[in-house]
Structure 1
Amino acid sequence: MKRSSPEERRERRFYSLGLGLSVLLSAASFGSVMTGLLPAGWIVPTLVVLALVQIVVQFRYFLHIDLTRQKREDLQLLLFTILLLAIMAFGTLWVMGDLSERMM
């Protein structure tokens, strides 16, 4: 039986921690809505914060994007892609909304 190297064990722990955090954040999101422990006005802000933390966890543990010099370029490329997609999506919604208004 092949023994795993210390680097493989470290990598496995890293992924396991990311998975655990992702499951915990997902459970917290579902729990905040399903249990009714939070007032109605706090549910949406709580979900937004949990979603942002989930994005950071996904970037760090699964995409291996952090703030080191080498990874910063990857992060900039990813953020630019997100910006372009947001411009296209919101631009489309804006044009379609304007067309709907003009036809009514």
Structure 2
Amino acid sequence: MIAIVTVLLAFPLGFFLHNRTSAYVVYVAIFGYSFTFQTLYLLRAWVGGDHSAFSADPEKLPLDYLAVTGAIYAVGFLLITLGHRLGAKRRNRSLAVDLESSK
């Protein structure tokens, strides 16, 4: 779920919002909500016996889950930065035409 949210929203946030910090804040808020919902969904499955996301041992820390979600989080920030750079280039493009011919 967080991967889908990141792919669908991170780049457009950076591209369309003029302020990059605002794009980061919106992404953090949306990611936080999605992460909480995804964790709850996976925990419910884990309690039901599905051990694909978390280990069967409740004493073991889910560091692999932390690594994957952290990587997705970082990719989101990179996509926002890339989108902001491309959006800024597009917004700052000069629409004027140079009518003087250079000789």
TM range (shorter): 0.3 to 0.5
Structure number with the bigger relative contact order (C-alpha 8 A, sep ≥ 6) is 2
Higher helix share: 1
* Length-normalised TM-score, structure 1: 0.38
